[in-house]
């Protein structure tokens, strides 16, 4: 068997996709499957899939062996929401394809057509252990923002994993402002668009008759909402206030196949039981605790813990504001969710639950059934860490996506290497000598 020193991985040397099995031995394996942690375990992958994982796993003949002793192995991190591949500089509109403010279309907008595989943010996030992500649009001219895409952060494989993977919309204060100035306007627009989508599905030939040129429901938008109505496409809804969440849940009675996913949901803990009974997942942040606006007066860092205890599937995502929209901080956000349980009166997550909130649960919410956990048959999306992945000072030493080892470099690291050793005589003239 071939033995590969961990120092090669630490040096950031790119490795080819394995033609033979690869075995990572002696690592602490955090599987993201319940509370299962394997101390001194071995994981084997071949042809992009995990073929064995456990305590007493035989290393196949001819396998490349990586010594993982003293390291922690986890599934790749999955960003349940992001702007990866669609935005380079948030403050420069020309580089941001997430928001179509002047478009006559809304739900029909397909974000996959704008994904940039060469975005510098993809390599930066990959180095931090992020292996897959959902790229989401913003709502602008309508409460519906369009259809988000699932992407792989692999440096060698295809970036686009699934186009039109979800529909995104705004409710609450933002949705009310977009729809005409109030929450009733937003809910009316939502009801109208879903009803028009259902009407189109039932009788496509008759849809255009009787509609005026100013109709809120363009044919393409109504067509795009058909998969939402019949449950083929989840509906990601940015909503914060508990009462708005309750109104949204009522739609399940009219459209039983509807698969809403709550995004933000700062007051969700107030109605955790109702959310759990409806089987609706929540994507939120572990650090929300301030009444930033009138729809989040009850924001609490106990939100995740209360939802988890109620049986809600929860995922942690970079939702702007605290920490911005970059997924690189997801492990530390998960760590904060654990620390919340140590605060007197706090409701937090266990370490396994926190890891699942950035791996297994996003995979489940996004329909990525073959990734998110470390078990036989799953994709070999793996991260080997130099320490506890939920601690701020820990970092990946190696990342695999579909079994292919990823380069541990980015534009940031390349610039650091280029300039860190310059002598004083090499500095530009404007620098003091």
Q: Where are the domains of the chain?
A: 2-75+380-417, 77-366
391-401 residue pLDDT tens: 999 999 999 99
Report d(CA 312, CA 324) in Å as an integer.
Answer: 25
Q: Pick the more confident residue, 421 or 20.
A: 20
Q: What is the pLDDT of residue 54?
A: 96
Report d(CA 200, CA 185) in Å as an integer.
Answer: 22
> In the predicted model, is pLDDT for residue 25 greater than 80?
yes
Q: What is the pLDDT of residue 415?
A: 84
Residue 238 pLDDT level (bands cut at 50, 70, 90)? very high
| Section 111-131 average pLDDT | 95
**Which candidate, 280, 291, 285, places its Cα nearest to that of 255?**
280
> In the predicted model, is pLDDT for residue 427 greater than 80?
no
290-331 residue pLDDT tens: 898 999 999 999 999 999 999 999 999 998 776 678 899 999
Q: Length of the chain in residues, anyone? A: 433
Torsion angle in degrees (nearest 10) through CA of 335, 339, 345, 347: 20
Residue 4 pLDDT level (bands cut at 50, 70, 90)? low
Average predicted confidence (pLDDT) for the chain: 90
Report d(CA 233, CA 82) in Å as an integer.
Answer: 18
In contact, 162 and 152? CB cutoff 8 Å: no
> In the predicted model, is pLDDT for residue 144 greater than 50?
yes
Rounded to two decimals, the pTM is: 0.92
Report d(CA 80, CA 38) in Å as an integer.
Answer: 26
Residue 387 corresponds to which tokens in the numbers above?
């320490």
In contact, 152 and 135? CB cutoff 8 Å: no
Only one residue has tokens 């605790």, namely: 289
Query: What CATH number does the domain located at 2-75+380-417 have?
Result: 2.30.40.10
Could you confirm whether domain 77-366 is CATH 3.40.190.10? no
In contact, 311 and 328? CB cutoff 8 Å: no
* Strand positions, DSSP E, 300-387: 314-316, 382-385
33-78 residue pLDDT tens: 998 899 999 999 999 999 999 999 999 999 999 999 999 999 999 9
Q: What is the pLDDT of residue 324?
A: 75
Q: What is the pLDDT of residue 216?
A: 67
Q: What is the pLDDT of residue 165?
A: 97
Share of the chain above pLDDT 90, in %: 75
Q: What is the pLDDT of residue 422?
A: 74
> In the predicted model, is pLDDT for residue 208 greater than 50?
yes
Q: What is the pLDDT of residue 19?
A: 67
Query: Which distant-in-sequence residues (6+ apart) come within 8 Å of 155 by Cβ?
Result: 14, 123, 126, 406, 407
Q: Are strands 404-405 and 235-239 parallel, antiparallel or unpaired?
A: unpaired
For 49, the enclosing helix (H) or strand (E) is: strand 49-54
Rounded to a whole number of angstroms, the CA Rg of the chain reads 23
Report d(CA 193, CA 199) in Å as an integer.
Answer: 10
Q: What is the pLDDT of residue 104?
A: 85
**Which candidate, 107, 39, 128, 45, places its Cα nearest to that of 395?**
128
């Amino acid at each position: 068997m071939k033995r590969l020193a961990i120092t090669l991985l630490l040096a950031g040397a790119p490795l080819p996709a394995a033609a033979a099995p690869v075995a990572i031995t002696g690592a602490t394996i955090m599987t993201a499957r319940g509370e299962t942690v394997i101390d001194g375990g071995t994981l084997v992958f071949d042809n992009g899939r995990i073929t064995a994982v456990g305590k007493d796993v035989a290393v196949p003949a001819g396998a490349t062996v990586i010594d993982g002793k003293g390291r922690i192995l986890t599934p790749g991190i999955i960003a349940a929401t992001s702007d990866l591949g669609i935005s380079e500089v948030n403050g420069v509109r020309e580089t941001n394809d997430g928001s179509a403010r002047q478009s006559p279309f809304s739900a029909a907008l397909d974000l996959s057509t704008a994904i940039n595989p060469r975005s510098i943010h993809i390599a930066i996030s990959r180095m931090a252990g992020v292996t897959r992500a959902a790229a989401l649009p913003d709502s602008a001219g309508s409460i519906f923002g369009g259809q988000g895409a699932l992407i792989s952060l692999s440096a060698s494989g295809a970036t686009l994993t699934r186009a039109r993977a979800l529909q995104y919309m705004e409710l609450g204060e933002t949705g009310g402002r977009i729809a005409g100035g109030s929450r009733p306007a937003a809910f009316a627009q939502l009801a109208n668009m879903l009803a028009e989508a259902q009407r189109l599905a039932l009788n496509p030939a008759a849809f255009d008759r009787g509609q005026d040129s100013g109709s809120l429901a363009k044919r393409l938008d109504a067509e795009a909402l058909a998969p939402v109505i019949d449950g083929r496409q989840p509906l990601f809804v940015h909503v914060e206030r508990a009462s708005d969440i309750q109104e949204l849940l009522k739609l399940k009675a009219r459209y039983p196949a509807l698969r809403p996913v709550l995004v933000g949901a700062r007051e969700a803990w107030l109605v955790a039981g109702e959310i759990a009974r409806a089987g609706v997942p929540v994507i939120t942040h572990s650090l929300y605790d301030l009444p930033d606006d009138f729809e989040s007066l009850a924001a609490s860092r106990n939100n995740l813990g209360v939802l988890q205890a109620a049986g809600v599937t929860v995922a942690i995502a970079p939702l702007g504001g605290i920490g911005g929209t970059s997924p690189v901080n997801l492990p530390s956000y998960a760590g904060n969710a654990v620390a919340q349980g140590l605060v007197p009166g706090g409701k937090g997550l266990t370490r396994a639950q926190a890891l699942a909130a950035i791996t297994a649960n996003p995979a489940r919410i996004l329909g990525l059934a073959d990734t998110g956990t470390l078990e036989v048959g799953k994709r070999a999306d793996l991260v080997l860490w130099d320490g506890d992945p939920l601690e701020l000072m820990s970092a990946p030493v190696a990342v695999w996506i579909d079994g292919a080892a990823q380069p541990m470099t980015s534009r940031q690291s390349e610039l650091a290497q280029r300039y860190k050793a310059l002598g004083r005589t090499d500095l530009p003239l404007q620098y003091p000598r």
